[in-house]
Structure 1
Amino acid sequence: MATQTYPRRTNTVPTSLRLGTRHQSAIFQDASHSGPMPWPEPFQFSIPFSTKHLDGYFLTYQSRINTSTAEKETEVILRVHQEWFDRGGCQVRDGALSVDGGPVLSVVFPEAEPGRLLNLAAIVSIGYIHDDWASQELVCNRSNHGDKESSMKKFGVIINQMKSRAIAEMLENDSSLISVTQIFGAREIRSPESHDLHLVEFQGLDHYLETKHLTDTWSILPYVYDIKLPKDQLARYSDLIRLTSKLNTLIKDISSAERDWSSHISHNKLGIPVSAVYIMMQTQDVTIEQAKKLVERKCLDLEQQFLRLSWDLLDNTEPMIQEEAARYISALHYLLAGELSWHAGSNRYRIDPSDPFYPKPEYKLNDFLQDARVLANSVQVERSGYESRSNSPILSGIALGSSRSRSINGFRDGRANGFNEDLTAYESDAWLDQSARLSEEAVLKPFEYLSSQQSKKISSQVIQALDFWYNLPRRSLDIISSIVDMLHNSSSILDDMEETPSAKQGTPSAHMVFGTPQSVNTANYLFVKCLQEVQKLPHSLSAVEIFTDEMTNLNLGRGYNIHWAFRSTTPLERDYIQMVDGKTGSLFRLAARLMKAEATQNKDLNIDSLVTLMGRYFQIRDDHQSLSSTSQGDPSSLDEGKYSLGLIHSLNNSNPSEREQLENLLLLRSRRGNLFPEQKSLVVKILARTGSMGYTVKVMERLENEIERRLESVEATIIGAERNWTMRAIIEYLRAGRS
C-alpha cells in the first residue's frame, strides 16, 4: 500500500482560517457565545480537512487534520499491520487508517503536539487489531490457521506481544506515559455488551446513553495537547465530557449500523444490536435509514447543548486559565469533528451490500427478523473468527423481548413451571420434595461489585506473560485465570475488613456496601469455588496439591500481618519478607506453578524465584505509594494498620524518643481505627528523618535490577524465542508507577 501524502502547512495561512490570529482576550469579548468556540491561538500543526466528499458528515464544526503527523502516523499504522502479518496474523478490518478520512489520531487531535501524538500511534493501531480479535471479527482461512480455538489463542498472544512491546518502549522513553497506558489497559476490559445489554429493553436514546458504557477517546486529550489545567478545573467539565462521550457513541452507532446487524446475527445473540439506530427503529417503528437520520438529529441537538455549555463554562473560568480552558474545550469539539470525518471515510464499520445479512434500507425491524429467518435456512457462511451466521437463537423463533427462565433474589421463579403462587409451601408439598441447590447469585454480589470497580489487575497480565512461555490450552488458561481472579478478590474483601478502610480510591469497600457477614461468607465461598475450578484442570491431582500448598502460604502470611497489627508488634525485616512471600507471593507462584503443570511447551521451565521477587516488589511498591500519598494529603493511607517496609525500617532505626512516638501513634490507630491528619503528618516527618522512604526506594531499585536480570536469564534458556514483551511491559509499568 502506498503511503498517502498530505499537504503541509505553510508559514502564511489565510486570515480566515487562522482563528487564533486575534488576541485571545478579543476572541472571548467578540464571540457571539452561540457558535463553535474558536481555537484560542494561531494554528501550528493543522489545516482544514474537507468533508465535502464524505457522505454522512453532519456536524457544524469544521474538521481539521494534523499535517505534521499524518504521514508519519500512516507509516506507523502500515508498519504495525506488516508486523501483524509477519508474526502469522490473518486478515483484519481496516484499522486506524481511514481510506478517505485520514489516520485517526491526526484527524481526531489536529492541534496535538506531534511528538506526543506519535508516541501513541502504534498502541492505538494495535488496539484496532485487538478489538477485531476480542469481537471475533478476524477473517481467517481455516486451512491456513487451523481450528478456531487454537488460532484465536495464537492471535491473542501475538497481539499481546505487540502491544506489550509498544508499551514497554513508550515507558522506557517517557515514564510519565504511565497514565496513558492505564487508560488503554482499562479500555481493554470494558465491553459494551458485558452485561447482556442486547437483552435490555431500552425506552429510548436517553435511556440507552445513560446505560451503555460510552466511548472515552477524550481521556487521552490532556496528554496529547499537553493541557495544563488543574484537576479540580477538569472535574468541572464532567458534564461537557459526558456530552462528548454521548456524541462519540452515536457517531459510531450511525457509521456501523449495517455491520452491527450482520455481526449480531453471526454471533448468535438474542434481542437487537446494542446501537442507537436499532433502539430508534424499535421505539419509533421506522426504517434503518430513517432511524439513522433521527440519530443524526439527536447528535445535532447534543452538539448545540455542547456549545451552550462550553461558553457557560468558559464565562465562569478564572481569567488566568481561560485561554487554556478554551484550548481544552475547543479540542473536545475538534475531537468530535475528527471522529465523524474519520468514521465517514472509513470502511472499518461497513459491510458489502452483497453480504447475506446486509439490512435493506427500506426494512423495519420486523422485516429484518423475517428476512433473516428465511436466509438462515439457505445460507451457510463462515467468517468472523470462524463463526457461522446460521443457527442463531434469534432466527429460531425466539421473539424480540421474549421471556426467559429467570431467578428472583436467587430463587428460580416457579410460576414458569405452573407453580401456583397462592399455595403455601405446606400445601404444595415443598417440605416433602427434594429441593435444588440455591443459586449463588446473591452470594457473589460482593465479588461482582468489587470486580466492577477494579481496573485490569497485574495478576491477569502476569498470566498472559507466563502463557507466552508455557502456551496452555485455552480451557486450562481460562480456568487458572478465573482461579487467580477469584482469589485476588477474595483476599481484597478480607484485607479491607481486616485493615478497616471504608473506601478505596473514593469507592466504598465491599463490606461497607453488603455488610461484614455477607462479605466474609462471599470470601469463603470464593475459596470453595476456586477448589472446584482446580479440580477441572487436566492435571487435577498435582493442581490440588499446588493449590493447597499456596493457600497455606497465603493464609499464614495474612495471619502474621493481622497478628503484628493487632498486638502492635514490630516485625524484623526478614520476617516481613516471609510474610510478603506468603500473603502476596502466593498468588504469583500459584499462577506460575499451575501453568507449568498444564504447559504444552517449556515444561521444565521453573520461574518460581522470578515471580516470588515480583510479588515482593509489588507489595513494597504498593505500600510505598500508600505512604507517599500520605505526604501529599491522602487522609486514609495510614489508617489500614498494616506494617510497611518504610514503617518497619523507621521503627527499627529511629532514636528511642521517635520510636516511642511511632509506637504510640500505631497503638492509637488500632484503638480508634484511624489517625488525625496532624498525627499522620508526624509519622511522615519521622519517616523522613530516619530516611525510611529513601531506603524503600533503594530496596525497590535492587529488586527491579534483580528481576530484570532473572528475566533475561529465563529468556536466554529458551532457544529461538523472542523477548517476553508482556513481562517486560509489566516491569516497566511498575517501575514508572513507583517513580
Structure 2
Amino acid sequence: MPYFSTPVPELALQQSGSFTKFETVVHKNYKICRVAAEQIQAEFNKAMNTDIITNTVATVPGLGLVHFLAFTIPNCLPERLVALVRFAEFTLLNDDFYDIAKNEEINKINADIQSVLATETESRTAESLSNMTKSKQLQASLILDMINIDSELAMDIMTTYSKGLELATFPPDTLKTLEDYLPVRMVNSGLDVFQTMSCFGMGITLTPSEKARLADLVDTAMFSTTMINDIHSWPKEVKHHIEHPGSEYPFNAVAVLMRHQGCSEAQAVRLLREKQASLQEQHLELLRRLGPLPEHQMLYVLAAQYAASGSEFWSIHVPRYPSKEDLNQPEVEFVDGVFRYKHNSGPATTTLFQIGRETTKSTKVGVVEINVLPCPAPTTSSSASSPRIAILESEPEIAIQDVSNMANGDDDILVEAVAHVNANGDGKSSLNGETFGLAFNQPAASRSYSSGSCTSLDTDVACTDEIIMAPYRYLTSMPSKGIRDLFITALNWWLQVPEAELLAIKDVISYLHQSSLMLDDIEDNSQLRRGQPATHIVYGLGQTINSANYIFVQAFSRMQALCAANSSTLGMFIEEVENLHKGQSYDLFWKDHVECPSVDEYLMMIDQKTGGLFRLCVRLMEALATREIPEASSKDFVRQLSRYFQIRDDYQNLMSDQYAKEKGFAEDLDEGKISLPLIYTLQSSPNRDAIARVFKRRDAGQMMGIEMKKFIIGEMRKAGALDRTYRLLRSMQDDMMDELRRLERVFGAPNASLELVLRKMWID
C-alpha cells in the first residue's frame, strides 16, 4: 500500500519545541485540506447564518498554511481526503456553534422576556430548532459523501461517534487521578472516533480480534494525545471558565491535578509532559515486543502515533489554541474550590468567582428527592470527601459512597440509606406508618408512600404516577435506535411543522410505540427486550398492562394540543390506532392457530400494524405543516418503509448476531411468530408438515430448543427462503431510494437526514 506522508522539515520541527517521541509527518497533498476546510466553513456559515472561524489552519514555517488533518491523518488516500476534512471540520464548526449558544444563554433569556413584554410573536426556540435541523442536514450530507466512498468504514465512524455521544460530557468528580481520567477523556474528546476516521481515510479494516490485540498499544499513544490536547487547550479553557462564573470546571487534566492532587499550574503541566513522555516510551516498548506487524496493522498503529505527534506540532502553531503568552495570562491557582488568576502574578485583571456550591443541590433518589448539602471542593486528594445526605432536625448525616448511582434511580442505595438510619435509631421509616427522616423536597401530601401523616378521613392525599409510570420508564431506559423519532425530525425538513406541534407528535408516537411494545411482549411471551428482561418479567403482567394502558391515555392526552391546531388530527389518530390493533389481531391469530397466510395477507398485516405509526406520523405532520404540501402523495414511500422495516426485522431476527445478543437467538421462533421467511419456507419446503407440527406442539411461554431452531433455519436455507428474503430487501432498498428521489424533486430540496435514516437500516 502506498504511503502519502512526508516528514516535516527538520528545522521546523526543532524550532517548534515539540516534545513528541514519534515521527512528525504531513500529507503530501496538504494544500487540498486547506481548500476543503475553507469550503465547508463557508457552507456552514451560510446555512447557519453565522460567522464562525475555527482556526484549524496553522501557518507552519517552510510549509505555509496547513490544516490539522494533514498532520494527524497523513496517510489518508487522496481520493478520501476532501470528504474526511469536510466531516472533521464540520464537527469543530458544530462544537463552536453550540459553545457560542451556551455563552448567549443569559442574553437569550433576557431577550425572551423583552419579546414577551413587547408582545412579539417570534420564537427564538423555533429559530434554534431550525438551526439544529440545518446542522443535521449538513452533517447528514457529509456522512452520505463518506458512505458513498466506503459504506462499511463510514458506518464504523457513525457507530463510534454515537457511542461517544451517549457518555456524559461533563467531568465526573470521581475522576481524581490520571489513570481514571484518561480512558474517559479519550472518548469524551473523540479520539476513539478519530481512530476510526483514520481507518476510513486509509481504507483499512481490522477485525475485532486484531483491534483487541493492538488495544493496549494504541491506547498508550492515544492517551499521550489526550495529554497533548489538554496542555495546549488549557489556557483557552481556563480563561473561558474564569470569565463565566458558574460554569463547569474545565474537563482537562491540568484541572484534575490542580483540584485533586494539590498541584500548582506549572507543576501540573510538568507532570503531564512527563506522563506524555512515559506513555510514548511505553508505546514504543510495546511495539518492539510485538515484533513485525502486517501492513494494515502497522498503518493502524502509525495512525495513533501521528495523531499524537501531529496534534502537538499543529497545536504549537495554530491560533485555535493560544498559549498563556499569547493571552498575556497570569498564573492560575486553585483556592477554596475556585480557579482564579494569582494575585500580582501578571498584568491581567484578577477575576474571582465561586462555582455555585453554596446552594443546596437536589438529587433524585427513586421516587423522592433528597437534599444534598454542598461540600467544600478539596484542594488535594487527601481532603476529598463523599457528598452527604442531611437528616432533618439536626440528625446525624448518612455517608453515601456513590450519590451518582442514586441520581440514576438506584433504589438499593435508598433502601440501604433508610436501613442505616433505622439501625441507628435516628430515622423514621414510612414502611411502619411514619414518614422518612430524610429531607424530602416533595410536600408531605405528594409523597408516594407516606400514609402515617393522614389523621383525618376528610384529608385529600395526592396520588402520584410514580408506580404506574415505573414499567414505562424501565422500558424507555433501554437502548433504542429511535428510528421513528429520527424519521419525524428528518421529515420536518420538508414539512416545517411548528416546534410545539412537532414535539407533541413525537410524544404521541412515542407513547403509542412504547405502550404497544409492553403489550406485544406479553402477547408474544417475550422474555427479552433489547437485551434486557422484558417489562412484564420485571413488573408482572398486571402492573405492565396497567402501565401500557395509562401510557396510551397519555398519547390521547397529547393529542389535545394537535386538535387545537387542527381538529381533523383526532380522526387520523383514531383511524390509525384502529388499524394498528387490527393488524395485531391477524399476527396473533396466525400465531395462535399456526396458520400460514399468503404473502399478500402478510403484507396487509404489516401495512396495518407496522405501517400505522409511520402513517400517523406523516398524516399528522402534513396536517400541521406550515408550508404548502405538494399534491404528490407520500403514501407509497410510507408503505415501502413500513414493509421494509418489518421484513428486515424478520430477517435480522434469524440472521443477525446483534439481534441474537439483544433478543436471544432466533427469538421469533420461541414466540411462534409467522414471519416472511417462514411463509416462504412453508410454501415450498417438502418438510413443511414437520415444521408446522413443531409450531403446533410448542408450549406457549417456553423457549424452543436450540437444535429445533437450527433444524427450522436449516429448512429455511434449503427452501431458499432466507436468500429470497434477502434479495427482496435489497430490491426494496433500491425502490425506497427511487421513491426518496421522487419526493426530493417534488419538495424541491434534497433530504440528506432522511436518506441517512434509511441507510442506517440497510442490510449489506
| Superposed displacement of residue 451, structure 1 | 4.9
Counterpart of 2:403? none
Counterpart of 2:677? 646
Matched, 1:464 2:489: yes
For 2:259 and 2:86, how far apart are their aligned partners in 1? Answer: 39
For 1:729 and 1:190, how far apart are their aligned partners in 2? Answer: 19
For 1:582 and 1:359, how far apart are their aligned partners in 2? Answer: 66
SS of residue paired to 1:256: helix
More contact order relative to length (CA 8 Å, sep ≥ 6): 1
Counterpart of 1:36? none
Report the RMSD for the aligned CA atoms in angstroms: 4.6
For 2:628, give the aligned amino acid: N
For 1:120, give the aligned amino acid: L
For 2:100 and 2:69, how far apart are their aligned partners in 1? Answer: 24
Find the partner of 2:297 among 321, 325, 339: 325
| Superposed displacement of residue 471, structure 1 | 1.9
Equivalent pair of 1:411/1:438 in contact (CA under 8 Å): no
Counterpart of 2:365? 408
Find the partner of 2:646 among 619, 640, 665: 619
Counterpart of 2:691? 662
Counterpart of 2:401? none
Pair 1:594–1:661, CA change in 2 (3 A):
same
Matched, 1:724 2:694: no
Counterpart of 1:66? 27
Deviations 1:371-421 (A, max 9, x none): 89xxxxxx9xxxxxxxxxx9xxx9687327x64123333223388684676
Aligned-pair identity in percent equals 22
Find the partner of 1:363 among 328, 333, 342: 333
For 1:650, give the aligned amino acid: T
Counterpart of 2:384? none
SS of residue paired to 1:91: coil
For 1:489 and 1:568, how far apart are their aligned partners in 2? Answer: 27
For 1:511 and 1:242, how far apart are their aligned partners in 2? Answer: 38
Matched, 1:171 2:147: yes
| Superposed displacement of residue 573, structure 1 | 2.0
For 2:14 and 2:570, how far apart are their aligned partners in 1? Answer: 63
For 1:704 and 1:295, how far apart are their aligned partners in 2? Answer: 51
For 1:552 and 1:536, how far apart are their aligned partners in 2? Answer: 21
For 1:82, give the aligned amino acid: A
Using the size of structure 1 for normalisation, the TM-score is: 0.74
For 1:430, give the aligned amino acid: S
For 1:131 and 1:188, how far apart are their aligned partners in 2? Answer: 14
Find the partner of 1:299 among 259, 276, 285: 276
Counterpart of 2:262? 285
| Superposed displacement of residue 90, structure 1 | 0.7
SS of residue paired to 1:569: coil
For 2:57 and 2:583, how far apart are their aligned partners in 1? Answer: 51
Equivalent pair of 1:446/1:514 in contact (CA under 8 Å): no
Find the partner of 2:89 among 125, 130, 138: 125
For 2:176, give the aligned amino acid: Q
Counterpart of 2:725? 696
Pair 1:173–1:284, CA change in 2 (3 A):
closer
Find the partner of 1:707 among 714, 724, 736: 736
Equivalent pair of 2:5/2:28 in contact (CA under 8 Å): yes
Pair 1:277–1:586, CA change in 2 (3 A):
farther
For 2:356, give the aligned amino acid: I
For 1:207 and 1:245, how far apart are their aligned partners in 2? Answer: 15
Deviations 1:132-151 (A, max 9, x none): 344445999999xx975344
For 2:536 and 2:175, how far apart are their aligned partners in 1? Answer: 31
For 1:639, give the aligned amino acid: E
SS of residue paired to 2:725: helix
Equivalent pair of 1:110/1:334 in contact (CA under 8 Å): yes
Equivalent pair of 1:98/1:342 in contact (CA under 8 Å): yes
For 1:54 and 1:478, how far apart are their aligned partners in 2? Answer: 56
For 2:679 and 2:753, how far apart are their aligned partners in 1? Answer: 33
Equivalent pair of 1:623/1:644 in contact (CA under 8 Å): yes
Counterpart of 1:223? 200
Pair 1:288–1:484, CA change in 2 (3 A):
farther
Pair 1:159–1:688, CA change in 2 (3 A):
same
Pair 1:396–1:203, CA change in 2 (3 A):
closer
| Superposed displacement of residue 595, structure 1 | 2.7
For 1:691, give the aligned amino acid: G
Counterpart of 2:50? 90
Equivalent pair of 1:535/1:541 in contact (CA under 8 Å): no
Pair 1:178–1:243, CA change in 2 (3 A):
same
For 2:742 and 2:624, how far apart are their aligned partners in 1? Answer: 22
Pairing 1:487-636 to 2, within 5 Å after superposition? 488=513, 507-509=531-533, 511=535, 526-527=551-552, 529-535=554-560, 539=565, 546-602=572-628, 607-629=634-656, 636=664
For 1:67, give the aligned amino acid: K
For 1:190 and 1:604, how far apart are their aligned partners in 2? Answer: 38
Counterpart of 1:156? 132
For 1:440 and 1:572, how far apart are their aligned partners in 2? Answer: 45
| Superposed displacement of residue 468, structure 1 | 0.8
Equivalent pair of 2:583/2:608 in contact (CA under 8 Å): yes
Matched, 1:431 2:404: no
For 2:13 and 2:550, how far apart are their aligned partners in 1? Answer: 61
Deviations 1:428-478 (A, max 9, x none): 652337656558499558756865634x53323322221111223334434
Equivalent pair of 1:566/1:670 in contact (CA under 8 Å): no
| Superposed displacement of residue 281, structure 1 | 2.0
Pair 1:304–1:558, CA change in 2 (3 A):
farther
247-256 or 535-544, larger mean C-alpha shift: 535-544
Pair 1:107–1:121, CA change in 2 (3 A):
same
SS of residue paired to 2:362: coil
Counterpart of 2:427? 422
For 1:270 and 1:435, how far apart are their aligned partners in 2? Answer: 40
Structure 1 alignment gaps of length 5 or more: 1-40, 373-378, 380-389
For 1:159, give the aligned amino acid: S
| Superposed displacement of residue 279, structure 1 | 2.3
| Superposed displacement of residue 535, structure 1 | 4.3
SS of residue paired to 1:120: helix
For 1:49 and 1:543, how far apart are their aligned partners in 2? Answer: 68
Equivalent pair of 1:565/1:643 in contact (CA under 8 Å): yes
| Count of residues in Structure 1 that have an aligned counterpart in Structure 2 | 658
| Superposed displacement of residue 576, structure 1 | 1.9
For 2:763 and 2:724, how far apart are their aligned partners in 1? Answer: 14
Find the partner of 2:6 among 35, 39, 46: 46
For 2:134 and 2:528, how far apart are their aligned partners in 1? Answer: 38
Pair 1:120–1:147, CA change in 2 (3 A):
same
For 1:228 and 1:424, how far apart are their aligned partners in 2? Answer: 58
Equivalent pair of 2:246/2:354 in contact (CA under 8 Å): no
Find the partner of 2:716 among 687, 705, 715: 687
| Superposed displacement of residue 659, structure 1 | 1.2
For 1:279, give the aligned amino acid: V
